[in-house]
Amino acid sequence: MLAVVFYALAAATVALALLVILARNPVHSVLFLVLVFFGISAMYLLILDASFVGVVNIIVYAGAIMVLFLYVIMLMNLNQAAEPRHPRWYAWAVGGAAALLLLVLASTANLLLQRQGTPEAAPADIGTARTLGKILYTDYILPFEVASVLFLVAIIGAVVLGRKDAPPAEEETLTQNS
Amino acid sequence: MAPIFQEIPISHFILLSCTLFCIGVFGVLFRRNAIVIFMSVELMLNSVNLLLVAFSAYHNDPAGQIFVFFVMAVAAAEVAVGLAIITLIYRRMRTVDIAQLRALRN
C-alpha cells in the first residue's frame, strides 16, 4: 500500500519538477516548485516517518522561501513569458549531459550500496521532534550556534544589499571627503 | 532499517533523488532567467535533503535529519542574500536575463 503511495508521489514530483523547468512564466515555475516541495514533504511524512523534518520543510521551503521568490518576481514584474529560448541543439546537448549525469550518479550510488550490507531491522522512531531536539541541543550544539551566526551575516548582508543605491553613494561621499 | 525499506528498496529513493537533482542541473544550464536558475538550485538542494532523510531512516541514525536542518538553514540564508543580489542587478540593468549580464566580460 505504501509502495503505491511512494511511486505515485515520486512520479508526480518528477513531473512537477520538469514543469518547473519548462514553464515559460516564472510565476508558474514558482507555483509548480511549491507543489514539488509539498510532494517531498508528503514523502517525509507518510513514507519515511520523518514528521518533524516534513513539517519544517513545508514551513520553511513551501512557506517562507517560495513566498520570497514570488515577492521578488512580482516586484520585478516578470510575470509574463518574455524569456528568449536557446536554440534546439543546445537544449538537446544540455538534456543529454543531464541524462548522462543521472546515469553516472545512480549507478555509482548503487555500486556503493552493494559494497555495504543492509543494516539490521530496528524500531524506527527517530523522526520525532523529541529525538531530534535532544540530539540537536546536545551533540550538535556548536553547528547550531554557528548556523545562528550565519543567519546574522545573511540578515546584515541582505539589508546592506537592499539599501537604496548604497554602493555608489558611499563611493561618492568618500571621494568628496578626501 | 525501517520496515518500509522491505517494501521499497533504498535504490529507488536514490534513483528518485538523482532524477530530481539532474532536473535541477538541466534547469541551471538551460534557463536564462536568473530567478528560475535559483529555483533550480533549490530543487537540487531538496533532492539531496530527500536522500539524507531516506538514508537516515535506512540506518536508524537521526544525524542525517539534523544535517537536513543545516542544509535548510544555509538554503534560507542563501535565498535571502541571493535574491537581494538579483534585485540589485535588476535595479541596475533592468533585466535578469543572464545572457545580457556581460558587465564582467573583458
For position A149, what pLDDT does the model report? 95
Q: Which residue of B has its CA nearest to A31?
A: B39
Q: What does the pLDDT look like over A109-166, one tens digit per residue?
A: 888 888 877 777 666 678 888 889 999 999 999 999 999 999 999 999 999 988 876 5
Contact B14, B72 (CB under 8 A): no
Q: Cβ separation of A105 and B97 shorter than 8 Å?
A: no
**Chain A residues with CB-CB distance to B52 below 8 A:** none
Q: Cβ separation of A162 and B87 shorter than 8 Å?
A: yes
Quote the cell numbers at residue A88.
534546439
Q: Quick check: is B69 in a domain?
A: yes
Best of B29, B37, B39 to disrupt the A interface (most A CBs within 10 Å) is B39
Contact B32, B55 (CB under 8 A): no
- Tell me if residue B32 falls in helix, strand or coil: coil
Quote the cell numbers at residue B35.
530567478
For position B18, what pLDDT does the model report? 93
Q: What is the CATH number of the domain that holds B43?
A: 1.10.287.3510
Q: Cβ separation of A14 and B20 shorter than 8 Å?
A: yes
**Shortest CA gap B106–chain A (Å):** 22
pLDDT of A14 over the 90 cut: yes
pLDDT of B90 over the 60 cut: yes
Average pLDDT, chain A: 85
Q: What does the pLDDT look like over A39-80, one tens digit per residue?
A: 999 999 998 888 999 999 999 998 899 999 998 988 887 766
pLDDT of A11 over the 90 cut: yes
Q: Quick check: is B52 in a domain?
A: yes
Alpha helix locations (H) across chain A?
2-22, 26-42, 51-57, 66-76, 88-115, 129-136, 141-162, 166-177
Q: Which residue of B has its CA nearest to A157?
A: B81
Q: Cβ separation of A21 and B27 shorter than 8 Å?
A: yes
Fold of A1-81: Four Helix Bundle (Hemerythrin (Met), subunit A) (1.20.120)
The helices-and-strands tally (H runs, E runs) of chain B is 4, 0
- CA distance linking residue A12 with residue B16, whole number of Å: 11
Q: Cβ separation of A135 and B62 shorter than 8 Å?
A: yes
Assign A17 a pLDDT band (cuts: 50, 70, 90): very high
Q: Cβ separation of B57 and A127 shorter than 8 Å?
A: yes
A157 touches chain B (CB under 8 A): yes
Assign B32 a pLDDT band (cuts: 50, 70, 90): confident
For position A165, what pLDDT does the model report? 60
For position A178, what pLDDT does the model report? 44
Backbone torsions φ then ψ of B97, nearest 5 degrees: -80, 115
Share of chain A above pLDDT 90, in %: 46
State how many domains chain B has: 1
Compute and round to an integer the Cα radius of gyration of chain A: 22
Q: Quick check: is B63 in a domain?
A: yes
Q: Quick check: is B77 in a domain?
A: yes
Q: Quick check: is B3 in a domain?
A: no
A73 touches chain B (CB under 8 A): yes
Q: Quick check: is B106 in a domain?
A: no
Q: What does the pLDDT look like over B15-30, one tens digit per residue?
A: 999 999 999 999 999 8
Average pLDDT, chain B: 88
Q: Which residue of A has its CA nearest to B21?
A: A102
Structural domain of residue B61, as residue ranges?
A: 8-100
